[in-house]
Structure 1
Amino acid sequence: MNDDFYNRGLARAKQKDYAGAIAEFTRAIEINPHFADAFCQRGLAYYDSGEILLAVSDYTEALQLNTESVEAYYCRALARVALKNFPGALADANQVIRLNRNHAAAYNLRGIIYRKMGRVHDAIANFKLAADLYLQQKDKDNCRLCLEKIKQLQPKQNLTVVQQRPTPTKPIMSPQEYFTQLLEKAEKGDTRQALEDLNWVLQVDPQDAQAYCCRGVVRYKQGNYREAIADFNQALQLNFQDAIVYRNRGRTRFQLGDHQGAITDFNQALQIKPEDALLYIARGNVYRAMGNYVSAVTDYTKALQINPDDPQAYYNRGLAYAHMEEMQRAIADYQQAASIFCEKEDWKNYEHVVESLKKIQSPSIESKQTQYNMLRQRLLRLVGGYWEIAQRLIDQAKRYYPGMSEEWYMEKVIDDLERDRG
């Protein structure tokens, strides 16, 4: 029976007949004094009719009956804001977030409370977290409202949903983590979905510099290098002066063959982040591609001073040493790289390094074959192309000088023929 009164109360509240709704909820409570939802709904009706204190009383009663009611905490927080009880409202908003870490409206409300308390920085942080959640939920309108609130508080700053660092106690995914998740999605091959999400972010906030940077990375992974550079340029125009922008634009320029442009970007990135080993490796790769092996070795060495356990730096330095024909150093670097890849159980890169190591550790096999073929051709020319004649001369030399190598006998026959012919 009390459910009938409760349902009629919901219907009357929907029709904005708050007095009628209160009467129906009261009948339901009289039948069942432990009906927590009826107290909460009657509180809403009181709130909508302007009876804020009665609303708070009903929400409190509902919470005594159900201490985990997200709705009751949220509604009481709203009522307490109306009563200017900001500490009480903040405590209730915190309880909502404790019970539901993805409650976007609670972060929005907490931002409002902080703003009223004069805590502007905390207000902005919460509006951005709310915007991020609305963004993930594809709630474009509420996301825009949060961004507008941020602009009101920081009219001169570049305002985005992603640049504000979360507070240390933030219990949900931060905006930075959201973009990291998108990049991880792209890394796993789902670049299409990551690109769609980033396009939507930029539709919501066309001034989001970090979103341009992230989209540039995704486009780089897709091989759309010119579009990637356009995104990195836009991020820089929006004053997103971060080493990651220059590093990725440098990588993209490298792919397009703009070696000098790539080095310029890496230099700029290193001014911002001089202890980034990855930047030295990236610049070293460009130097190596340009044939400037000395500068490449210098950069790889610097990277290893920062991170002595980077196998890629060892391998790349080994490649540079091999081009400089400093084979012992190349072998040492390859071996170190292989050892680290082995420890990391990165078997794909381990096998790749081992193959490179084999090529420079046993060049004698290939060179001997090449030398043999060259001697054979010289000898054939001297005997008019008849190998039978050459073989008889070789066999004769073997009888006079037993125990020598095949190449030695061919060289002996060649020397004798050339000497006899003046």
Structure 2
Amino acid sequence: MRKKHRIIAIIIVALVSLSMIGSTFVLFFTNSSSGASASGSGNNANSQVQGLQSQIDSLNQGLKSNPQDTNLRLSLANAYYDMGMLQLDSSQEQAAASLKQAVAAYQEVAKTNKDNVNVLVDLATAAFYSGDNTLAETTFKQALTLKPDFFNALLNYGYFLMNAKGDYIGAIAEFNKALNTNPSPTDADRVKSLISMAQARLSGGQDSKQPISSQGNK
């Protein structure tokens, strides 16, 4: 995978946002209290989106000449995924469109890489954030069948269960499985934060869930 920890990074940013402004489902980029800083952040995101669009255009051109090139198609899927995540904070419609393109590209890659759990988890997560919860759940389960102790899959599936399904008990179970994979101390702390969040909701505590501006990855 081009970005081994893409999904984890997205959830990390989501957690930061959650702790600061109470968003769960998901505000990926925290807004600064400074108007100038917020504007600068927006300009930076726009610049990144433009760069990704240029990358996407080049990859699509390459695939016209080499439609069977799996590496090119995986790079295309990753670029659409990254662009969709960047767009979540500004346009849910554009983000969903980009993430659906990512899903389609990951599905093509998965046809010849059925046992690649990284691809499957990215596919599942992109499906989740594009609004296709059925595909997301099916693909998360497929990845975990192949590799039951895959930290990324456990973390993201738990996050999916908590936010898309409202299944806090199931989410806590997946998060505990993730802890049992002996992650780094930093990752373990983040999982524990998610467990605390799920437990608070389960006990009827204040729900910090906020719909994505209408989703976030990884």
TM range (shorter): 0.5 to 0.7
TM-score by length of 1: 0.31
1:353-372 mapped onto 2 (5 Å cutoff): none
For residues 102 and 149 of structure 2, what CA distance do their matches in structure 1 show? 25
Largest Rg, 1 or 2: 1
Task: Give, in angstroms, the shift of residue 197 of structure 1.
Answer: 4.0
Confirm or deny: 8 A CA contact 1:201 1:211 kept in the other structure: yes
Q: Read off the aligned partner of 1:318 and give its amino acid letter.
A: S
> Is 1:322 matched up with 2:200?
yes
Alignment pair present for 1:259 and 2:120: no
- The answer to whether residue 162 in structure 2 is matched with residue 301 in structure 1 is no
Task: Give the aligned residue type for 1:218.
Answer: A
Local SS of the residue matching 1:275: coil
Structure 1 residue 221, shift from structure 2 partner:
2.0
User: Percent of pairs identical after alignment?
Assistant: 23
Matched, 1:249 2:128: no
Residues 210 and 271 of structure 1: is their aligned pair in 2 closer, same or farther, counting only changes over 3 Å? farther
Partner of residue 81, structure 2: 220
Partner of 1:270, secondary structure, is: helix
- State the match for 2:69 in structure 1: 208
Q: Corresponding residue for 2:13?
A: none
- Name the Cα RMSD after superposition: 2.6
Alpha-carbon distance between aligned partners in 2 of 1:275 and 1:197, rounded to the nearest angstrom: 36
The aligned amino acid for 2:55 is: A
SS in 2 for 1:206: coil
Higher helix share: 1
Distance (Å, rounded) in 2 between the aligned partners of 1:230 and 1:215 = 10
**Structure 1 CA distance for aligned equivalents of residues 137 and 200 of structure 2:** 22
Q: What are the within-5 Å matches in structure 2 for residues 116-265 of structure 1?
A: 189=48, 190-223=51-84, 224-237=98-111, 239-241=112-114, 242-265=116-139
Pairing partner for 1:277 from 144, 151, 157: 151
CA distance in 1, matches of 2:173, 2:199: 11
On the 8 A contact 2:99/2:126 being kept in 1, the answer is yes
Q: Secondary structure at the match of 1:236?
A: helix
Q: For 1:272 and 1:193, locate their aligned partners in 2 and report how far apart those are by CA, in whole Å.
A: 35
Which structure is richer in relative contact order (CA contacts within 8 A, separation 6 or more)?
2
Q: TM-score, normalised to structure 2's length?
A: 0.58
One-letter amino acid matched to 1:243: V
Contact 2:102 2:126 in 1 (8 A): yes
CA distance in 2 between partners of 1:214 and 1:208 (Å): 10
After TM superposition, the structure 1 = structure 2 runs for residues 99-110 of structure 1, keeping only pairs within 5 Å, are none
Aligned to 1:159: none
Measure the CA separation in 2 of the matches of 1:254 and 1:274.
20
Q: Distance in 1 between the 2:169 and 2:126 partners? A: 23
Amino acid at match of 1:214: S
Q: Deviations over 1:288-342 (max 9, x none)?
A: 0111100000000111111162132122111101101288xxxxxxxxxxxxxxx
**Residue type matched to 1:296 in 2?**
A
Match of 1:60 in 2: none
User: Moved runs in structure 1, 4+ residues, more than 6 A?
Assistant: none
Q: How far did 1:207 drift? A: 0.5
**Aligned residue identity for 1:195:** I
Q: Deviations over 1:156-200 (max 9, x none)?
A: xxxxxxxxxxxxxxxxxxxx7xx56xx9xx9x9331343244234
Distance 1:199 1:284, change over 3 A: same
Matched residue count: 144
Are 1:268 and 2:142 matched, yes or no?
yes
| Distance in structure 1 (CA, Å) of the matches to 2:139 and 2:73 | 17
* 2:80 maps to amino acid: R
CA contact (8 A) 1:210 1:240 kept: no
Q: Structure 1 residues 211 and 272, CA, compared in 2 at 3 Å: closer, same or farther? A: farther
Instruction: Provide Cα deviations, 1:370-406, integer angstroms capped at 9, x if missing partner.
Output: xxxxxxxxxxxxxxxxxxxxxxxxxxxxxxxxxxxxx
Distance (whole Å) between structure 1 residues aligned to residue 60 and residue 73 of structure 2:
9
